[in-house]
Structure 1
């Protein structure tokens, strides 16, 4: 369930904080995924990591690891899990730039959605993506996500306003793909 031919999703451990900190402070990595673009101290990252990632009751996060090399290349999460209404939001960050555009994001997201729909029996998964992140939009659309709405001019980057695209996928649509 948590492994494909090239990657596996593994439980996050406290010793992953430094790798996560590196990605969280890489403005090129965060440009297309983080609305705040702040730089964080290692102590701030540790606090976030412990409280939001490791201790959360409404989130499940996993490190994306390449099987052949054992290299940790990203993180993926289900957040705001609502078990009563059987929905959640997903997040995907491939933090290692050498792995961008090679299909690792698709594999990681597919593993996460398999888990969400087949193990947790969730009904709906949503996500938010910046309108200029065309590569991510193609990925999400290819997996079966549909645009559900736009948060107009909700993000300011490089002197310009950009939309945030709200997308979602239902279990029945994912399984029929």
Structure 2
């Protein structure tokens, strides 16, 4: 469990696999930049994905919950962790739209970033962000990530080819900012 003043990041429980969670994945606004958007999501698929990934040490996956009421508002995942190179990707989404724009994504990124560098001794964190997802880019930048490159026409979004920004944060930069 990782904690801040406003958030608790904890393991995803079976009870989190709710109709609300499923509605997030099938909401075009929420899933606009998620890979899950290409197929309608079902409860069976959600439960199967959780079952197959819940105990994977190379892909720690957390529910983002509010301290004030324990409400599950999204997820954050570190992985896959490349242990040989001591690096990992970081990805997240805030599914509860009433929580958008309140800094929860930045706060969750900071918690996982610090845990990854302090506890897991990772040396580099990366994130891939669809160009146009300004909110996500800002959340990562607030946590020290910098643009390392743009992958031109890397992905499909709304039927068009789009760029993907590659953001990165080496441990050395994190240490010097701490």
Task: Report the TM-score when normalising by structure 2.
Answer: 0.91
In structure 1, the residue matched to 2:45 is 44
Q: Which runs of 5+ in 1 are unaligned?
A: none
Change (3 A) 1:35 1:45: closer
For residue 59 of structure 1, report the CA deviation from its aligned partner.
Answer: 0.6
Q: Is the 8 A contact 1:33 1:130 kept in 2?
A: no
CA distance in 2, matches of 1:117, 1:38: 34
Once the two structures are overlaid, the 10-residue window that deviates more, 30-39 or 110-119, is 30-39
Post-superposition offset of 1:171:
1.1
Residue 21 of structure 1 aligns with which residue?
Answer: 22
Where structure 2 has 5 or more consecutive residues not aligned to the other structure, the ranges are: none
Q: CA deviation at 1:36?
A: 4.3
**2:57, 2:144 → 1: CA distance?**
27
| Separation in 2, partners of 1:69, 1:57 | 28
| TM-score normalized with structure 1 length | 0.92
Quote the Cα distance in structure 1 between the aligned partners of 2:163 and 2:128.
10
Matched, 1:119 2:119: yes
Measured on the aligned residues, the alpha-carbon RMSD in Å equals: 1.6
| In 2: Cα distance, 1:158 partner to 1:61 partner | 27
Question: Per-residue displacement from partner, 1:11-59 (whole Å, max 9, x unpaired)?
Answer: 111221224323222221010233743211211111111113x132311
The alignment partner of 1:28 has SS state of: coil
